[in-house]
Structure 1
Amino acid sequence: MNNSQQRGLDRPRARGTGRSVARRAELISVGRKLFADTSYDALSMDDIAKQAQVAKGLIYYYFQSKRGYYLAIVEDSVAELVSRAAGGLQLPPADRVHRTIEGYLRYAEHHQAAYRTIISGGVGFDAEVHAIRDGVREAIIATIAEGAYGRRKVDPLPRTALLGWLCSVEGATLDWIDRQELSRDAMRELLVRMLGGTLRAIEELDPSYVAPAPARRDE
């Protein structure tokens, strides 16, 4: 069991169903916006409760502490991002890669505060938050590797190359959602072509990793 799973067991579960689950989700939604715009240290539990328009005790009830609340927000955002990017397993390799990038960008575009929270953190250097972000990266790299090579685990050279591409994707996506100068389609095609260059470089250095043929786009 990893640390994130253990934290989930240590936190109190929302009692009942329906309204209690919806209230917890509402608090996480509010927290995504708060922590995206304001640093962790600058927000008190009183500030959070005021913005959420709830009693402070309700936040303690669901999350135990401010840190527990923050980590729940990050983990919830992470789960949704990875889920968005990991679909399309039935597609051919090149189409699967294309769909992964499309899902990633859709999430960033429609959940900008949550995306900034995942990528930028918001608490300075925090080992646990950085570990969560690193887990996202590993999941996305595994998804891309599975789409390109038919397996999630790859050797150090392709993994490092894919990590370099993904770090550039993070920076470019943050800039994209801030500026809104490119359409999502244009951004997707740019990132797909950048990935294509990375996959070809991997193949040149290690011919056992054959880059998939580009997907044909008739539209």
Structure 2
Amino acid sequence: MTMSRTRMSPHARRRQFIDLGVGLAQEQPLETITIDAVAEAAGVSKGLLFHYFESKADFHLAVVREQADEMLARTAPRDDLDDPLATLHASVGAYVDYVAHNGKGFVGVIRGSASADEDIRAVADATRAAMSERILDHGAALGIERSPVIEMTIGGWMAYIEELLVRWLSDPVVERDELVELMVAALPMLTGLVDD
């Protein structure tokens, strides 16, 4: 049964739709989220959604952008830690916590690079690039000098932790803290293999 429609400002209504989409994406793959389901959850007609989004694909893109922005915000390096490895540890821990909370939503963001939708692929690629750039920006403090080989290595490390997270979501064979340690320990080992 649909709730009675509540009058909202255009900004608040759009925000409501995106928040509902993000919530649904935590439980199911993005591509299975229908406009009908979002409209029913909001207590409005699906026609109203198309007043705010050009298409289902446009709505899905808005949801993926929101998820990506939230993931980047939650995993931002902390300024209150003096030890660069502690900073890395805190960011990776926040990443794992985000994933544990968002499940399928996380998979939708990082697996967006395999999407048939060019715009969703672009969001996934930009998110991955932003996270890699953070490591490179803090590289000197970690004893990592930026170079094309190091950039490639950091990209490989990002792919490694993404794959660990996807597997961990489906089969959590290790505890959260052990997973974080595994990810953090891999970065110095990988970059240490690169000759100056």
Q: TM-score, normalised by structure 2?
A: 0.81
Asked if the contact 1:165–1:194 (Cα under 8 Å) also holds between the matched residues in 2, the reply is yes
CA distance in 2, matches of 1:120, 1:180: 19
1:43 positional shift: 5.8
User: Which residue of 75, 85, 88 maps to 1:97?
Assistant: 88
Which residue is equivalent to 1:86?
A: 76
* Structure 1 residues 130-169: aligned runs within 5 Å: 130-150=121-141, 154-169=146-161
1:173 aligns with 2:156: no
User: Which residue of 35, 49, 54 maps to 1:59?
Assistant: 49
CA distance in 1, matches of 2:125, 2:186: 21
* Structure 1 residues 121-132: aligned runs within 5 Å: 121=112, 124-132=115-123
1:159-216 CA distance string (max 9 Å, x none): 10000011011111000011122111000000111112112123xx11xxxxxxxxxx
Distance 1:57 1:119, change over 3 A: same
Which residue is equivalent to 1:195?
A: 187
Asked if the contact 1:33–1:113 (Cα under 8 Å) also holds between the matched residues in 2, the reply is yes
- How many residue pairs match? The answer is 186
1:117 aligns with 2:108: yes
Asked if the contact 2:113–2:122 (Cα under 8 Å) also holds between the matched residues in 1, the reply is no
Distance 1:122 1:156, change over 3 A: closer
Q: TM-score, normalised by structure 1?
A: 0.73
1:21 positional shift: 6.1
* Structure 1 residues 69-84: aligned runs within 5 Å: 69-84=59-74
Asked if the contact 1:93–1:149 (Cα under 8 Å) also holds between the matched residues in 2, the reply is no
Which residue is equivalent to 2:3?
A: none
Matched residue type, 1:113: K
1:106 positional shift: 0.8
More off after superposition, 122-131 vs 185-194: 122-131
Matched residue type, 2:169: I
Asked if the contact 1:63–1:69 (Cα under 8 Å) also holds between the matched residues in 2, the reply is yes
Asked if the contact 2:113–2:120 (Cα under 8 Å) also holds between the matched residues in 1, the reply is no
Distance 1:161 1:123, change over 3 A: closer
1:110 positional shift: 0.8
- Unmatched segments (≥5 aa) in structure 2: 1-7
Distance 1:37 1:188, change over 3 A: same
**Identity level (%):** 24
1:15 aligns with 2:6: no
Asked if the contact 2:26–2:105 (Cα under 8 Å) also holds between the matched residues in 1, the reply is yes
